[in-house]
Homo-oligomer: A and B are copies of this chain.
Amino acid sequence: MNSRSPGLVRDGSRANEVAILRAALEAFGAKGFHGASMRDVARGAGTSLSNLYNYFPAKSQLLAELLRLANDELLARITEAVSGAGERAADRLRAAIAAHVAFVVDHQVESLVALSEVRYLAGVAREGVVAARDSTQNIYERIVADGVRDGEFRTPYPDDAARNIVSLCSAIATWYRPGGRLSKQDLGEQHARYALALLEAELPPARSGKGAGR
């Protein structure tokens, strides 16, 4: 269906692959990995059941690819945000959390699937996803360690605090609803404030946020 130069350029040639991945994401998000069938995926992608296997050799590979894409992009977003932030640990933490929260809000279903279906991955696919997740957590741990070293943070439990910060950001995927009270940016700033509180840093005065007054 696409007129394109042969072989080399893969641009746009993956339209069907993308449609299948998108349908798999929706199916896994709605019914869970084992609750969704390949027939669900085929229906959502507008293709036939057997044709799925021209693009992915097995159902588990669909999940593996979804989770690899999601975790890699999350890691890339956070890495880029941190590299572009200031020197102070609090600034880098704020940048990381803003990127993290934005990803969860922009890709809520991906985040939810990555959180709850990663257990069904096996073998190398699982290791790859776990490695990406560890890399993300390592970023937070480094920022926290730097902040403790520089006296910005006073937490007695730096690594635990970092893990809980990640937990709070991930948990957004479980309760966030579009059009809610807080905008994506507000949610990011609120969670940055929570993170700084967990680290027992000195907090800036609260911004507008929510509550009775505005």
Give the complex CA separation of A34 and B35 in angstroms.
Answer: 6
The segment from A47-55, A68-76, A157-165 that touches chain B is A157-165
Q: Select from chain B the residue with minimum beta-carbon distance to A30.
A: B119
Q: Give the distance to chain B from A188, nearest Cβ to Cβ, in Å.
A: 13
Q: Give the distance to chain B from A70, nearest Cβ to Cβ, in Å.
A: 17
Q: Which residues of A contact B (CB under 8 A)?
A: 31-35, 116, 119-120, 156-157, 160-161, 163-164, 167-168, 171, 174-175, 190, 194, 197-198, 200, 203, 206, 209-211
Q: Select from chain B the residue with minimum beta-carbon distance to A36.
A: B34
**Beta-carbon contact of B35 and A209 below 8 Å:** no
**Beta-carbon contact of A194 and B203 below 8 Å:** no
**Beta-carbon contact of B157 and A210 below 8 Å:** yes
CB contact under 8 A between A194 and B164, given known A157-B209, A200-B203, A211-B157: yes
Chain B residues with Cβ under 8 A from A190's Cβ? Answer: 157, 160
By Cβ-Cβ distance, the 6 closest A-B pairs, closest first, are: A156-B206, A34-B34, A167-B171, A34-B35, A197-B197, A116-B116
Q: Select from chain B the residue with minimum beta-carbon distance to A213.
A: B156
Q: Select from chain B the residue with minimum beta-carbon distance to A161.
A: B194
Q: Give the distance to chain B from A85, nearest Cβ to Cβ, in Å.
A: 23
Q: Select from chain B the residue with minimum beta-carbon distance to A181.
A: B160
Q: Give the distance to chain B from A86, nearest Cβ to Cβ, in Å.
A: 23
Q: Select from chain B the residue with minimum beta-carbon distance to A166.
A: B171
Q: Give the distance to chain B from A117, nearest Cβ to Cβ, in Å.
A: 9
Q: Give the distance to chain B from A114, nearest Cβ to Cβ, in Å.
A: 13
Chain B residues with Cβ under 8 A from A31's Cβ? Answer: 34
